[in-house]
Amino acid sequence: MNSKKYMIDLFSGCGGLSHGFEQAGFECILGIDYDQPALDTFAHNHPHAQAIKLDLSSEESIQRIVKEVGKKNIDLIVAGPPCQGFSLTGTRNENDKRNTLFYSVFKLAAIVKPKYIIIENVPGIATLYQGKARKAILEEFDKLGYTCSEKLLYAPDYGIPQIRKRMFFVGVLGEDVFEFPSATHDKSNYVTCEQAISDLPSLKDDLGREITDYSCEPSSEYQKIMRDGADRLYNHVGTSHTDLVVSVIKQVPEGGNHKDLPEGVGTSRKFNEAWTRYHSQKPSKTIDTGHRNHFHYRWHRVPTARENARLQSFPDRFHFVGPKTQQYKQIGNAVPPMLGYVLGKKILELDASNS
Ligand SMILES: C[S@@+](CC[C@H](N)C(=O)[O-])C[C@H]1O[C@@H](n2cnc3c(N)ncnc32)[C@H](O)[C@@H]1O
């Protein structure tokens, strides 16, 4: 009997979420997105999977996926759809393509009938449109016969060195109730920026060049996990800033931002996250898609794509393909693989208890 657990990743991006599930023991057979550069990275890192470029708002795309699945038994569908998928008015206009994005997950699930469905989104989904978005998700799960559990997960609680909150809905076909994994960390032992990236070369004299050699041994448990299976570095290219930018960021203390600058310095950027320097002894701020407002806790430059990937818990053996702007975008859009891992392990536990 085939004991493999097959999954599909909808709105896969580069595949951060499904990478975590694969590490837990699932095999991702399909990744679907309409962004080709993200799919290129997905394909590079998911050798068993097919990466297919499709617009998930269309009915034809759903039919195409059904055809690809064929007779394969799908255990899990994971999906991180963008949250514009609900109309502000609450009256769903079937002709507005964006309105069908969430529903595409359920349209596919109604045909493929996976045992488990996971929908991930920003925390705001719970309150979006006066809670209508959340209610609609719960109703869809119910209609298809799934029991849904929901929870806001805080990444540092699971050993991820980054402040990031994400909402998860986990549906189980039938009556079983999914229990979310317990936190493994708390304030007293959150993984810090230093523990996450201090072993990566500073690039002080190598800005703009790809550095592929590790210059030292890992110095934390987290670094050891991240370097497992990697013998050289990828995506570690330092940005060369103007003298003005360097002179400003030099004046921001660890954990500080534009509010810590002397009068008249750095006035070109004043918004909330402007001139933010990470704190070496704390998790990082939420990794963005490359806005260049976050700086390394020690070096006077923005973090490299690899440093951001580390803070997102992507192991070093996961490579991002394409230009730097695409790498930053894919990393910032991703769900930390470690969150996928802990959820995947919990689903496999539940599955084992039933077989
Ligand atoms: C938040 S990102 C997903 C990140 C991914 N779950 C990960 O962990 O790496 C959302 C993705 O949805 C894709 N997307 C948005 N609208 C889409 C559509 N209509 N059809 C297919 N993909 C779409 C975007 O290109 C983006 O990659």
- Residues found in the chain: 355
Q: What is the dihedral of CA 345, 51, 144, 169, to 10 degrees?
A: 40
Q: How far is the CA of 205 from the centre of ligand 1 (A)?
A: 37
d(CA 66, CA 84) in angstroms, rounded, equals 25
d(CA 303, CA 312) in angstroms, rounded, equals 12
pLDDT single digits (tens) 46-70: 999 999 999 999 999 999 999 999 9
Q: How far is the CA of 13 from the centre of ligand 1 (A)?
A: 5
User: Domains of the chain: which residue ranges?
Assistant: 5-184+336-353
User: What type of residue is 63?
Assistant: Q
User: Which of the 8 DSSP states describes residue 2?
Assistant: -
- Tokens in use for 69? 């699945």
Contact 311, 162 (CB under 8 A): yes
Q: How far is CA 34 from the centre of its chain?
A: 17
| Selection from 233, 196, 231 nearest residue 211 by Cα | 233
pLDDT single digits (tens) 319-340: 999 999 999 999 999 999 999 9
User: Which of the 8 DSSP states describes residue 336?
Assistant: P
| CA separation, residue 214 to residues 183, 223, 224, 236 (Å) | 31, 12, 12, 10
The top-level CATH class assigned to 5-184+336-353 is alpha beta
In the sheet that holds 26-33, the strands lie side by side as: 50-53, 26-33, 5-10, 76-79, 116-121, 165-173, 146-154
Among protein residues, the one whose CA lies closest to atom 27 of ligand 1: 13
- Tokens in use for 327? 């790498």
Question: What is the pLDDT confidence band of residue 94, given thresholds at 50, 70 and 90?
Answer: very low
Q: How far is the CA of 35 from the centre of ligand 1 (A)?
A: 7
* Weakest-pLDDT range from 1-5, 164-168, 263-267, 350-354: 1-5
d(CA 105, CA 87) in angstroms, rounded, equals 17
**E runs forming strands in 126-208:** 146-154, 165-173
Q: How far is the CA of 208 from the centre of ligand 1 (A)?
A: 29
**H helices present in 198-336, as ranges:** 221-227, 243-249, 305-311, 324-333
Among protein residues, the one whose CA lies closest to atom 16 of ligand 1: 82
Mean pLDDT for the chain overall: 93
pLDDT single digits (tens) 228-250: 999 999 999 999 999 999 999 99
Residues with CB under 6 A from ligand 1: 11-17, 33-35, 38, 55-57, 80, 82, 101, 333-335
Q: How far is the CA of 64 from the centre of ligand 1 (A)?
A: 18
With 50 as the cut, is the pLDDT of residue 39 above it? yes
| Selection from 41, 4, 44, 48 nearest residue 26 by Cα | 4
Question: What is the pLDDT confidence band of residue 97, given thresholds at 50, 70 and 90?
Answer: low
With 90 as the cut, is the pLDDT of residue 256 above it? yes
pTM: 0.95
Among protein residues, the one whose CA lies closest to atom 14 of ligand 1: 11
Q: What percent of the chain has pLDDT over 70?
A: 94
With 70 as the cut, is the pLDDT of residue 93 above it? no
Question: What is the pLDDT confidence band of residue 284, given thresholds at 50, 70 and 90?
Answer: very high
Residues with a known catalytic role: 83
Residue from 9, 10, 11 to probe ligand 1 pocket by mutation (most atoms less than 8 Å from CB): 11
The number of the ligand 1 atom at minimal distance from the alpha carbon of 42 is 9
The number of the ligand 1 atom at minimal distance from the alpha carbon of 330 is 9
d(CA 34, CA 271) in angstroms, rounded, equals 32
Residue from 26, 117, 333 to probe ligand 1 pocket by mutation (most atoms less than 8 Å from CB): 333
Which uninterrupted H or E stretch holds 10? strand 5-10
The number of the ligand 1 atom at minimal distance from the alpha carbon of 61 is 20
| Selection from 76, 93, 88 nearest residue 129 by Cα | 88
Average pLDDT rounded to a whole number, residues 117-124: 92
pLDDT single digits (tens) 3-36: 899 999 999 999 999 999 999 999 999 999 999 9
pLDDT single digits (tens) 188-230: 999 999 999 999 999 988 888 888 999 899 999 999 999 999 9
Among protein residues, the one whose CA lies closest to atom 3 of ligand 1: 13
Among protein residues, the one whose CA lies closest to atom 12 of ligand 1: 11
Q: How far is the CA of 177 from the centre of ligand 1 (A)?
A: 28
Contact 326, 4 (CB under 8 A): no
- Tokens in use for 208? 């703009």
Contact 223, 193 (CB under 8 A): no
